[in-house]
Structure 1
Amino acid sequence: MAQQALPVREARLGKPLGASGTDRTVNAVAVLLPGCGPTGLRRPSPVPALAVRPLAARLARAGRAEGLAAHVVHYRCRGWNGAAAHPAQDAAWAVDEVVRRYGDVPVALVGTGRGARAALHAAGHPAVHAVLALAPWLPDPRQPGIAPDPVKQLIGRQVLIVHGTNDERVDPDFSYRYAQRAKKINRDTCRFEVHSDGHSLHQHRAEVHALATDFLLGALFTHSYARPLTDALAAPPPLGLRMPLASGFGASLRH
């Protein structure tokens, strides 16, 4: 079947949160990539972008003193659309746009669902220093005729994958297998499991946001990682790729 042409429409960055909204210098940027559906060329619903805004605000607030700005990406269309991978294209555009606006600053890609898959795809951009993939929607690696998602673009990046063990939409084993492949070529890869949580990671949202904040401040600035992150990055598989996210994580952290 011939692929439908994408309507002429531009991706865009949402209004900046954090340092870029003040007279402070922007020293790093977090690019938030919302989830999306499997297919669809229509204009996206605003709901996915609104869903990641609280995390964007949390990151911007925590990194304000360091000069961290955060932007939510608004895609051109509402679907991944097979090999076209439109959100991944939009993620790459977003990093180019960040460089155009702010210059040579380190960028972190932060995605949820298929937005997490887009973040992993776009990690090869030279400006990207870190990737945070929350409940990434990855293809079944055992499905015949489906090539596994690439991992070579992750070399040299700090990579954190977080997945709920009760994800009802995508098997968390898919992200584990992806992390196994990534760890073989990039030692700075780790994965946390959020026990009893689902795809939205809502039940342990406070802990997930605290982990995300600690990871980004450590990856983009000179902050030391919290001990669980340090241990996860140092541990060989499977331990470093099945690290449990402890209940109450972040409660004692300043950010």
Structure 2
Amino acid sequence: MVLLLPDGEADSHRRPSALSYAIQLPFARALARAGEGDGLAVHVLRYRCRGWNADDAHPAEDAAWAADEVQRLYGDVPVCLVGHGMGGRAALRAAGHGAVTSKQLMGRRVLIVHGTNDERTDPELSYRLAERAKKANRDTCRFEVHSDGHALRQHRSEVVALAADFVRGSLFARSYARPVADALAAPPPLGLRMPLAAGFGRSLRH
């Protein structure tokens, strides 16, 4: 099971817009297609409100609730949290849930992807987070999408393919693509500044 966690805002108790959910649907469908043969299911989480809201960390609470629901509805199945923007932060916070097999952090497999031209969230912050995580958990890697911004629109197909490869490798013990395996094996900084190559998605469609 993949729980896809959308982006959000720092502070807001308003309900999320329908657009924030709809934006994630093509990504969800692509992940579902990639894992169809393995029986992968993908759900996009609808947050109660669109803000993180300081210590309340509402999206992380919602993600943990959703993982509980997965176990209640489907039994003891492994869960992968996939988040965009604030959803990535929620994934890291909620990843201590017993059902989660990728993210947070001890005993989890962690992938961070960041655009180098992100003007909303400093890429160096995610690098320092990955660096700290790598010290405690060798199964951590980070990819940089050069010239792309916060939404990762310019290299969307490559990002989707990277996420799909990581999900299948983490949930179904598939072999990771060579760049992912190299990034996981490499020490910092190399494995935490791995460039996402143009055409990564095409190389997996064979």
TM band (smaller chain): over 0.9
Cα shift readout 1:102-151 (whole Å, capped 9, x = no counterpart): 100110000001011000000000110013xxxxxxxxxxxxxxxxxxxx
| Paired position in structure 2 for 1:82 | 54
Q: Post-superposition shift, 1:85?
A: 0.4
Q: Which has the higher helix share?
A: 2
Name the amino acid aligned to 1:51: I
Q: Distance in 2 between matches of 1:186 and 1:228?
A: 19
Percentage identity across aligned positions?
68
Q: 1:196 aligns with which of 132, 136, 147?
A: 147
Q: 1:1-255 alignment to 2 at 5 Å?
A: 29-131=1-103, 153-254=104-205
Q: Which runs of 5+ in 1 are unaligned?
A: 1-28, 132-152
Q: Post-superposition shift, 1:55?
A: 1.0
Q: Post-superposition shift, 1:45?
A: 0.8
Q: Which runs of 5+ in 2 are unaligned?
A: none
Bigger Cα Rg: 1
Name the amino acid aligned to 2:77: V
Name the amino acid aligned to 1:173: E
Q: Post-superposition shift, 1:222?
A: 2.5
Q: Match of 2:4, SS?
A: strand
Q: Distance in 2 between matches of 1:84 and 1:43?
A: 15
Q: Match of 2:119, SS?
A: coil
Is the deviation greater in 54-63 or in 186-195?
Answer: 54-63
Q: Distance in 1 between matches of 2:203 and 2:159?
A: 14
For the aligned residue pairs, the C-alpha RMSD in angstroms reads: 0.9
Choose between structure 1 and 2 for higher RCO, CA contacts under 8 A separated by at least 6 residues: 2
Q: Distance in 2 between matches of 1:190 and 1:114?
A: 19
Cα shift readout 1:174-207 (whole Å, capped 9, x = no counterpart): 0000000000000000000000000000000010
Cα shift readout 1:55-109 (whole Å, capped 9, x = no counterpart): 1111111111101000000000111100100000000000000111110011000
Q: Post-superposition shift, 1:254?
A: 3.2
Q: Post-superposition shift, 1:250?
A: 2.3
TM-score, scaled relative to structure 1:
0.79
| Paired position in structure 2 for 1:10 | none
Q: Distance in 2 between matches of 1:47 and 1:186?
A: 36
Name the amino acid aligned to 1:55: F
Q: Distance in 1 between matches of 2:201 and 2:170?
A: 17
Q: Distance in 1 between matches of 2:105 and 2:18?
A: 29
Name the amino acid aligned to 1:216: V
| Paired position in structure 2 for 1:138 | none
Alignment: residue pair count: 206
TM-score, scaled relative to structure 2:
0.98
